[in-house]
């Protein structure tokens, strides 16, 4: 019936909002963990002459990570990658190359962000899987596998664009 269809539409929309909220509420941690992981794998980045040295370069790296994550959350909210492509990825690789940013390291940081964000989205609707770190959020119950896959595709799109 029309009412059942409307209920399904609202429920799916609420799951999408919950997924975006899971990312945006944890954005600072997602980005800082990703940059830390990238540096742990390549400590030369924080040595003199490295791309995360001195502090202003580290700040720029964190800022870029937050911007990328923000546009991924916009794409997830809209269910469409065009805002990500047009406003974030268009010319990003060329800019990074011109600035000497190691695109392999940037891609690795995005891959780490993908792992964190998709785990958060997947856990959004199951408090039991959050353990001690679970933060109570009112969420719509249900399977988020499709949203996890969709979000993952946006991260993959970023990795592909800068690699």
Number of structural domains, the chain?
1
Mean pLDDT for 48-57 is 94
Better-scored residue on pLDDT, 92 or 139? 92
Mean pLDDT, range 22-48, rounded to an integer? 96
Contacts of 102 (CB under 8 A, 6+ apart): 45, 51
DSSP output for 124-152? HT-GGGGGGG--------S--HHHHHHHH
108-135 pLDDT, tens digit each: 999 999 999 999 998 754 555 555 555 5
pLDDT > 70 fraction of the chain, expressed in percent and rounded: 88
pLDDT in tens, 55-88: 999 999 999 999 999 999 999 999 999 999 999 9
User: Domain with 79 in it: what CATH number?
Assistant: 1.10.490.20
Residue 162's pLDDT is 97
Among residues 14, 4, 30, the alpha carbon closest in space to that of 144 is found at: 14
pLDDT of residue 128: 58
Q: Is the pLDDT of residue 137 over 70?
A: no
Domain that holds residue 12: 2-162
Mention every residue, 6+ apart, whose C-beta is less than 8 A from residue 28.
66
């Amino acid at each position: 019936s029309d009412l059942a269809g409307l209920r399904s539409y609202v429920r799916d929309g609420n799951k999408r909002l919950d997924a975006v909220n899971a990312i945006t509420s944890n954005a600072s941690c997602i980005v800082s963990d990703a940059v830390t992981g990238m540096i742990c794998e390549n400590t030369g980045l924080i040595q003199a002459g490295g791309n995360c040295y001195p502090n202003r370069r580290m700040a720029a790296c964190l800022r870029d990570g937050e911007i990328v994550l923000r546009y991924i959350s916009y794409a997830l909210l809209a269910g469409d990658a065009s805002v990500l492509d047009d406003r974030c990825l268009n010319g990003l690789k060329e800019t990074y190359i011109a600035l000497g940013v190691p695109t392999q390291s940037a891609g690795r940081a995005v891959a780490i962000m993908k792992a964190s964000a998709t785990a958060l989205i997947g856990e959004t609707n199951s408090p039991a899987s959050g353990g001690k770190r679970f933060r109570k959020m009112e969420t719509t119950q249900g399977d988020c596998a499709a949203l996890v896959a969709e979000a993952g595709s946006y991260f993959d799109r970023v990795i592909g664009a800068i690699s």
